[in-house]
Amino acid sequence: MIYNQSLALLTDLYQLTMVHGYWKAGIAHRHAVFHINFRRWPFKGGFAIAAGLETAVQFLKDFRFSSTDLAYLEELDLFEKPFLDFLSKFQFSCDLDALPEGSLVFPYEPIIRVKGPIWQAQLLESPMLNIINFQTLIATKAARICLAAHPDPVIEFGMRRAQGVDGAISASRAAFIGGCESTSDVIAGKLFGIPIRGTHAHSWIMAFEDEEKAFEIFAKMRPKNCIMLIDTYNSIEGAKKAIKVAKSMKDFDLAGVRLDSGDLAKLSIEIRKLLDEAGLKKACIMASNELDEYLIRDLKQQGAKINVWGVGTNLVTGKDQPALDGVYKLSAIQNEKGEWVHKIKLSEQTAKVTNPGILQIRRYFDGQFYTGDAIYDEIIGIDHSATIIDAHDPNRQMQGSGHSSDLLIPIFREGKVVYSAPSLFEAQAHAKRELTRLPPSMERFTNPQPYLAGLEKKLYQKKMEMIRKVRDENTHHH
C-alpha cells in the first residue's frame, strides 16, 4: 500500500460502533449482502466508467488490524477488550463480485456486491466507497475529455492541483483507465506502469539570458522527443525561435511546441502555418490551460490546429462535480434459519429508496450497441426475455432482447481472490471498446439520451410490494 501501514482504520467511527453492536447482539456472523451504487449521472452525462476495483482488491488483501490500531482503539475507551480481541482475528472471508474496471455503469447498478458475515461486510463500507467513488468519477471525466479530443491523445497533468497525495495517485490511475494516453506524475508511472510525459516550465526559459539560448540547451539535452513551451513572453515569437533552433541543429527532431495561454485556436492556426512552412510538418502543437471536454470541443469546432491535449485541474479534481454520490446499502440478510430476507430502505425521496435482494446486472447487446440493462435479484431469478422497468418512470419499459451477459464477476470467494486482474492497459482498452457500444446520442455532453438501466419486472414488483407493506405497518403504528 502507498502509505506503508495498516489502513484498517481508514473508516468512519460508526462502522466500528455498529460492528461492536452486531457482536454484542450475537448476530456478527449472520450473512448479509451490501451493494455499492450511485444515484445521479456524473457530470450530467449519459454514462460512467467503473474504476478502482484493483485498488480495492489490494486494500482487502492487506486488511488487518495492527497492534497499534488496536492500542489506539483501546485508548478511546469505547470498546471492550474481548471485542478488540475479536477484531484482532479479522480474516477476510466474504464473497465479493464486481464490474470489471473500464465497464460502463449507470445509476442504481451495483458496481460491487459484498456477501458474507455482516460484521466484515459492514467494516468495508467507508473504505470501499472512498476508493470506488473517486476513481469512478475521474475515469468518467477522463472518458468525456478523451471523447472530446478524439482522435488526439490526452496527457493527464493534474498532480499539482489534485486533492492531496492519494488524490493525485488515484487520479492518474483512473484517468488512464478512462482513456488518457500518459501522465506527468512520475510515481504513477512507477506504481502502475503508466507512460510518463512532460515538457519544461516557464522557469526554464526565465533561468537563461534569452529564450533562444534556453531552447538550444534544452534541445541538445533532449534530441529525441523535445517539446518546447513557447508562450513565456510571446507565443508567435517563441514559435519562431523554436523553429530557428530546430533548423540549426543536426540530427534533431522537434517533436512539438506547447501553448499554455492566450487564444489557443487563433495561435495554433498561426503556429501550424509557421511549422509547416519550415518543413516541420510532423511537429505537434500541444495545448494546456484549464482545459475540459467543453473547451476542447469548442476549440476543435473553431478549427484549432492542436493535436495533443494536456489536461490537469479539471480532470483530476472532477471540478464540475467533485464527488460521485455512491452509497453502500444493505439489501438482504439471513435469518436465524439461514434463509435470505429482503431488506429495503424507504425515504421521502424516491431516488433514495434502495433495491432489495442479491443483485446482478444483465446487459443486452444487439451486435452494435448496448440496448438496456436489467437489474435483477438472484434470489427471485430472471426470465429468458426479461421486462425492464425504469423504477423512476414505470411507463418507460422494454423487453430485453438480443445477446445478453451478466456483468458482476466473482472477485473473492470466502476471502480468497478467484480472478486474475487485467493489466491497466487492458482495463483502458475495455473502456474504449465499451464506449463504442453506446449510441452517440448517449455520449453527448449536454442533454444526452438516457440509457435504460431498470429493474427486472419481478424485482420491481417485489420492491413495490415491500414499499406498500412497510408504509402500511408504519401507518398502523401511528
| DSSP state letters, 75-115 | HTT-S-HHHHHHHHT-----EEEEPPTT-EE-TT--SEEEE
* DSSP string for 128-153: HHHHHHHHHHHHHHHHHHHHHHTTS-
226 vs 57, 270, 306, 435, CA distance in Å?
39, 21, 17, 33
* pTM of the entire predicted model: 0.96
DSSP one-letter string for 374-437: EEEETTT---SS-EEE-TT-TT-EEE--SEEEE--EEEEETTEE-SPPPPHHHHHHHHHHHHHT
Backbone angles phi, psi at 194, to 5 degrees: -75, 135
Nearby residues of 467 by Cβ (< 8 Å), 6 or more positions away = 344, 346, 353
Residues recorded for the chain: 478
Are residues 201 and 175 in contact, defined by beta-carbon separation less than 8 angstroms? no
Q: Which 3 state secondary structure label does DSSP give 179?
A: coil
Q: Which pLDDT score is estimated for 471?
A: 87
The sign one gets for the Cα dihedral 463, 469, 473, 474 is positive
Q: What are the backbone angles phi and psi of residue 245, rounded to the nearest 5°? A: -65, -45
CB atoms within 10 A of CB 93: 14
DSSP state, residue 196 = B
- pLDDT tens per residue, the chain (478 residues)? 456 678 999 999 999 999 999 999 999 999 999 999 999 999 999 999 999 999 999 999 999 999 999 999 999 999 999 999 999 999 999 999 999 999 999 999 999 999 999 999 999 999 999 999 999 999 999 999 999 999 999 999 999 999 999 999 999 999 999 999 999 999 999 999 999 999 999 999 999 999 999 999 999 999 988 999 999 999 999 999 999 999 999 889 899 999 999 999 999 999 999 999 999 999 999 999 999 999 999 999 999 999 999 999 999 999 999 999 999 999 999 999 999 999 999 988 777 899 999 999 999 999 999 999 999 999 999 988 899 999 889 999 999 988 999 999 999 999 999 999 999 999 999 999 999 999 999 999 999 999 999 999 999 999 999 999 988 888 876 6
Q: How far is CA 21 from CA 8, 17, 78, in A?
A: 18, 6, 12
CA distance 115 to 95: 5
For helices 13-25 and 81-88, give the axis angle rounded to 10 degrees. Answer: 100
Spatial contact of 147 and 46, defined as CB atoms under 8 Å apart: no
Superfamily grouping for domain 141-316:
Aldolase class I (3.20.20.70)
pLDDT at site 349: 77
Which residues does 465 contact at the CB level (< 8 Å), separation at least 6? none
Assess contact for 62 and 352: CB atoms under 8 A. no
What pLDDT does residue 475 have? 82
Which residues on adjacent β-strands are paired with residue 374?
362, 454
Domain borders along the chain are 13-138+321-477, 141-316
For domain 13-138+321-477, give the fold. nicotinate phosphoribosyltransferase (3.20.140)
Q: Which three-class secondary structure state does DSSP give residue 359?
A: strand
Reading phi first (left if > 0) and then psi (alpha if -120 to 50, else beta), residue 357 is in: left
Q: What is the pLDDT of residue 278?
A: 96
| Residue 276, SS3 per DSSP | helix
Q: What is the DSSP letter of 198?
A: -
- Closest-CA residue to 244 (of 268, 269, 277, 270): 277
- φ, ψ at 360 (rounded to 5°): -140, 160
Grid coordinates belonging to 449: 439520451
DSSP lists the bridge partners of residue 341 as: 333
Query: Which DSSP string corresponds to 216-245?
Result: HHHHHH-SSSEEEE--SS-HHHHHHHHHHH
**What is each CA distance from 398 to 438, 439, 452, in whole angstroms?**
17, 17, 8
Look at residues 2, 6, 166, 1 and name the one whose alpha carbon lies nearest to residue 72. Answer: 6
